Amino acid sequence: GCVLVVSVIEQLAQWHNSTVKAAVERLCDYIPGKYQIMHHVIDREMNADVVCHSLRLCKQDPGQPLCHLYSPPKLHHLCELMHPSTFIFLPLQKSFMGFSSVCAFPLLANLCEKMKYVLRNKLPFEDFDGDKFSTFPTLRGYHWRGRDCNDKNTTTYPGRRPDNWDAKSDSNCNGIWGVDPKDGIPYEEKFCKGADSKGVVLLGDSAGAHFHIPPEWMIVTQMSAKSFANLPMAFSDEFDWPQFSEITGFLNSTIGGWTDSLYLRLRKRNRCNHRDLQNISQNGGSSGNLLSLIKSLARNQLLDNPAIVIYATIGNDVCNGERDTLAHMTTPKEMLSNVLQALRYLDSHLPNGSHVILTGLVDGRFLWDNLHDRYHPLGQLNKDVTYSQLYSFLDCLQVSPCSGWLTPNETLRNLTSERALQLSNVLKEIARSEKFANFGIFYMDFPLRQTAEEWRKMGGEPWQLIEPVDGFHPSQIAAALGTGITWQKALHEWPQVLGKENPFNDQIEAIFKDQGGH
């Protein structure tokens, strides 16, 4: 945290040819609300690593290597600079101490309390009737699940079968209700009866939730007050953007690329599916911790429509920040047990006629191969930080999102991919041999190779498929392209999963266009 903020301050001072104090003030002006960062005298000769060590915000534990993002300055210089008397600073070190400290910012204190609730329960913070759907966008609200259309009524929510064909009110929030005055038939019955309506549910990780840190938060040449306008929203969505994601995206992307999602395609195929989406993902989601996350699923076996559930933990079963990363990876035996437990839970909660698609793990060698010698957003101004340096820094701090793939050690990268393949084979075998009462089960490989191929044909470069700031997650472009590939596979191999095309789509749009918004 410290190295990041100090880097941005130093680069702002350099770019605007100002003092460090002026750069701090500039950054504070850009950020909404009154975040007070810190005021130190920072010597121009010192890089962010040195500053943060001097402030005792970074430390070197006995017997551990000295972690640094930038090339270290000459040693005697470092020792001299590390002496506390070189500094005048306010005792605001607390500001950087992880989550609790972010909460020291007055603007965020109130939000933090809400966030703690949301992180514990993975349910909408604002949900007055307790049906797990909300009329509020963030804090696990309708960015994550279809928007509730009556938050005072537990029996009204997206995805239910219509109550009395919704003659009187819109019980399933798809915008279709009332009676046709010409013949007295309820519109929902006329347009949606036998239409094979189904919702889409993602059980996933940060890739599925669509983790993204905007690069304009740290590229000083592009930085302005506009850059940080979305910070409060991003924070209250856990730095995830499910509203633009590959499975449940429904809004036009404001973070580059474009939005295409399984949900949007299902909705286009059958307008009765409007708002029936749930993104039940979390940063760090794995086959193990998904077993508690899955309890936030909202589906009533007797009252609701069937669902297509995408099970996609594409990396965290092999990704961790541990020193002996291989020892901490999920084993094939654990994978089998975790996934079967999740499937049994789904079988007791999903309406009959549902479908589950198991997605294989990604081959993360793609990351190092395409990024290691490129400059990270923090290193673009002075050509001094590559992804390789970023990965080593995170690994040294033992907070790497994936020690097995984000490493110069090729043997380790290959071993990590080997384990990922073994775990994918477990999923493939489950799909081949297991049978469940309420859903059919399918397997598909994670379509990274096809996505890269498709993007190359469009004139793109492989590195553009990866999030620039973390150098780890699929980007908006990758998410949108992946949707098309998944859809084509389903269309050709499992058409029963997608349901049939609704012949009344145009009529529905014509009659209900005024209330079609998400």
pLDDT digits (tens, 9 = 90+) for 7-66: 999 999 999 999 999 999 999 899 886 555 555 556 666 889 988 888 888 888 899 999
Report CA-CA distances (Å) from 354 to 347, 411, 437.
9, 41, 10
Q: What is the mean pLDDT of residues 126-133?
A: 97
- Asked whether residue 438 is assigned to any structural domain, the reply reads yes
Q: State how far the Cα of 34 lies from the Cα of 105, in Å rounded to an integer.
A: 8
Q: State how far the Cα of 106 lies from the Cα of 195, in Å rounded to an integer.
A: 51
Give the rounded distance of the alpha carbon of 60 from its chain centre: 32
- Asked whether residue 413 is assigned to any structural domain, the reply reads yes
Pinpoint the alpha helices (H) of 218-308: 231-236, 262-269, 290-293
Q: Structural domain tally of the chain? A: 1
Q: What is the pLDDT of residues 386-413, one digit of tens each?
A: 999 999 999 999 999 999 999 999 999 9
pLDDT of res. 193 = 97
- Asked whether residue 116 is assigned to any structural domain, the reply reads no
Of residues 421 and 101, which shows the higher confidence score? 421
Q: What is the mean pLDDT of residues 188-215?
A: 98
Give the bridge partners for 274, in sequence order.
Answer: none
Indicate which residues carry an active-site annotation.
206
Closest CA to 214 of 240, 193, 196: 240
Q: What is the pLDDT of residues 77-102, one digit of tens each?
A: 444 444 444 443 433 343 344 445 66
Pinpoint the alpha helices (H) of 246-331: 262-269, 290-293
Please check the confidence at residue 173 and state whether its pLDDT lies above 60.
Answer: yes
Q: What is the mean pLDDT of residues 289-314?
A: 98
pLDDT of res. 277 = 98
Q: What is the mean pLDDT of residues 127-142?
A: 97
pLDDT of res. 513 = 77
Query: Which stretch of 293-297, 352-356, 456-460, 508-512 has the lowest confidence by average pLDDT?
Result: 508-512
Percentage of the chain exceeding pLDDT 90: 81
Give me the domain span that covers residue 432.
196-501
**419-424 CB contacts, 8 Å cutoff, 24+ apart:** 419/318, 419/326, 419/329, 420/315, 420/317, 420/318, 420/361, 420/362, 420/363, 420/364, 421/361, 421/363, 422/332, 423/287, 423/317, 423/318, 423/330, 423/332, 423/335, 423/360, 423/361, 424/360, 424/361
**64-67 CB contacts, 8 Å cutoff, 24+ apart:** 65/396, 67/393, 67/396, 67/397
- Asked whether residue 176 is assigned to any structural domain, the reply reads no
Query: Which stretch of 66-80, 201-215, 273-287, 406-420 has the lowest confidence by average pLDDT?
Result: 66-80
- Asked whether residue 301 is assigned to any structural domain, the reply reads yes
- Asked whether residue 30 is assigned to any structural domain, the reply reads no
pLDDT of res. 72 = 82
DSSP run (H or E) holding 432: helix 410-433
- Asked whether residue 91 is assigned to any structural domain, the reply reads no
Query: Which stretch of 36-50, 140-154, 222-236, 372-386 has the lowest confidence by average pLDDT?
Result: 36-50
Q: What are 492's two structure tokens?
A: 């050709």
Q: State how far the Cα of 494 lies from the Cα of 424, in Å rounded to an integer.
A: 20
CATH of residue 361's domain is: 3.40.50.1110
| Sheet-wide strand order for 307-312 | 277-281, 199-204, 307-312, 354-359, 439-444
DSSP run (H or E) holding 6: helix 2-15
- Asked whether residue 76 is assigned to any structural domain, the reply reads no
